[in-house]
Amino acid sequence: MEPSFLVFLQKSPFNMVLFGTAIVSGAMLVWPLFGRIAGGAVPQVGAFEAVNLINRRDAIIIDVREKADYAIGHLPNSRHIPLAELAGRTGELEKFKMRPVLLNCAPGTAATRACAALTQAGFKEVFALRGGMSSWIEASLPVEK
């Protein structure tokens, strides 16, 4: 760094705070990019993209929420496999390996862990419903009970 810049920063604590804020906000902007490049990002689809997957590509829907949450309401034609049981029950899904798989949960975070488990099991197209069940309901799409 140039010495005049360091002098500028040392003149006032406010200058250091502004510079630090710029560095942190810049890092926050590029962090998702690094996640995608590293391959750690799980493909997520919105509610209407999920409808297209279901209707046009015959996607299978797996709900990874707990039994009580599933009983309150779930996506039509979804299969219920709680996240804790998913690793042991992937054999039930073997016949669907060539179809897209849509994973649903309440807040949308458990589905990303389920995506990783199914990808490791050999499923090629695995998607998480962005926003989970709440985004589905917010889009006024049908719910079964």
The catalytic residues are 105
CA 13 from chain center: how many Å? 40
The dihedral built from the CA positions of residue 94, 82, 100 and 53, taken in this order, carries a sign that is positive
Residue with tokens 């590509």: 57
Q: Which amino acid is at 24?
A: V
Q: Report the C-alpha gap between 68 and 121 in whole angstroms.
A: 27
Q: Dig out the tokens for 57 from the structure.
A: 């590509």
- What are the tokens at 105? 């949960």
Residue whose pair of structure tokens reads 């630090």 in the numeric block: 20
102 contacts 60 by C-beta, under 8 angstroms: yes
R_g (Cα) of the chain, nearest Å: 21
